[in-house]
Amino acid sequence: MNFTVKTINTSTLKSACILIPVFEGGRLSASGKVINKSSKGFIARVLKSGDLTGKTGQTLLLHNVPGTLADRILLTGFGEQKEITPSNYKKALISGINALKSTESKDASLCVAEIKVKGQNSSANIKQAALEIESALYTFDQYKSKEKTTNLKKVTFVLTSPATTENNQAAKNGKAVGVGVNLAKDLGNSPPNVCHPSYLAKQAQQLAKSYSNLSVKIINEKELEKMGAGAFLSVSQGSDQPAKLIVMQYKGGKPGDAPHALVGKGITFDSGGISLKPGAGMDEMKYDMGGAASVFGTVKAICELKLKLNVVAVVAAAENMPSGGASRPGDIVTTMSGQTVEILNTDAEGRLVLCDALTYVGQFKPASVVDIATLTGACIIALGHQTTAMLSNNETVAKNLLAAGNTALDKAWQLPLEEEYQSQLDSPFADMANIGGRPAGTITAACFLSRFAEDYQWAHLDIAGTAWVSGGMKKGSTGRPVPLLTQYLQDRANEKASAPKQSRAAKSKK
């Protein structure tokens, strides 16, 4: 999508469609009032008819409105003018964009920057709109004989005041996050006979070809064996698809600056292994690489943003299949850290690939580490499909992630990570078991991972409930938590940029 920002009188704006906000009670925005005046009250008369009251998400498409140069006017309800929250703004935007999709409009002009949204300025409005447009226009039809096409190719954000550099950058930022979300969706929606560990490795190499400051290293099973990644390899040993540890390094900061690390669970298909899952809904186990998909999407977004920060992104990619060579309940494996694990359930495999990836990433001396995984069904029971679970060994990292989620409308909720839960992982035969029983399943899974993240500041995001929509024609990847992760890294880059520079004298004393 091509986004532009322009200051122009809406009555003289040539456009295939102009989206005009309407508030409760039929109140018009500033741009809407201009259109209403040029049309000699036509808009007001339409609203008086009661076909649209301004309720959040309502739309009404008008053709050939007198006194305008636009082919169409799309009236869109944004709710009570003084009570517009970012979530209501998002809901209205999505409704408006979906209405636009149903027209033959090749371009559209949106008068949304002027809306007063709680906690947002015009630039934040533009950024959110650009992201929602990219996401709403997403389709995954590569495997259908007839692909869908979208007419809309250009969107202009209309301002009533002179456009600023911040306004223009906001459109670019929103698009960057949007294309990252859509990459995550593509990977998540891809069928597991196509999207296996080797495919993910090739996608990483393709990304590196597109961005000069991104490098990729692919670690194969022989190398993993030499590194002692026994937990990781125990997951892939039942599959014909070899495991890959995919390492992407984005160098946008200064040489020597500690990187922030992302670690994604990349189980490209999870049958459960010998602890076989029920057949119903097993097709959706292609989404068990949602953590990896979000890492890819975030890397894409920060490359587009040219973020001034160093980032290491690690994807632990494997397929969990049952076979004569698969690991069994009761097996004991040695992790890269030297700790041993008794495998009581082969369907608790995500933590087995992640624990070795978390050990591996420690060599980069990271400033922070965030792992992302579709890890536990217990997370869905606790938080449903609206909110990501977050657990951390560091309160600063936890607060930063929660704040980023609130800003990006991609929310997380912190669960406790207390020592009292650790005993549920006790094993009579190994250092730990890979499951801790039904009680507090999300927490004990994080407790397991925490044992491999003691040397740095770490947080775990369980996205089992938020990574995809389940069932029917609406089934599909959500691309979450790419907005949260991108915002988190943007915030860290902004912190770096605003930090006071040390004097040479102060540096010399160190």
Catalytic residues: 277, 351
Q: 85: which residues sit within 8 A by CB, 6+ positions away?
A: 117, 118
Q: Please report where in the chains the tokens 């938080």 appear, as a residue.
A: 383
Contacts of residue 95, defined as CB under 8 A and 6 or more positions apart, other chains included, come to 56, 57, 58, 59, 76, 77
Which residues contact residue 87 at a Cβ distance below 8 angstroms, ignoring those fewer than 6 apart?
Answer: 409
- List own/partner pairs for 187-190 with CB under 8 A and 24 or more apart: 187/289, 187/292, 187/293, 187/296, 187/297, 187/477, 188/286, 188/287, 188/289, 188/290, 188/293, 188/467, 188/468, 188/476, 188/477, 188/479, 189/140, 189/476, 189/477, 190/286
**Can you give the length of the chain in residues?**
510
Q: What's the gap between Cα 160 and its chain centre? A: 32
CA distance 357 to 233: 11
Q: Would you say 485 and 402 are in contact if contact means Cβ atoms under 8 Å apart?
A: no
Taken in order 383, 385, 391, 395, is the CA torsion positive or negative? negative
Nearest to 480 by CA among 395, 396, 383, 415: 383
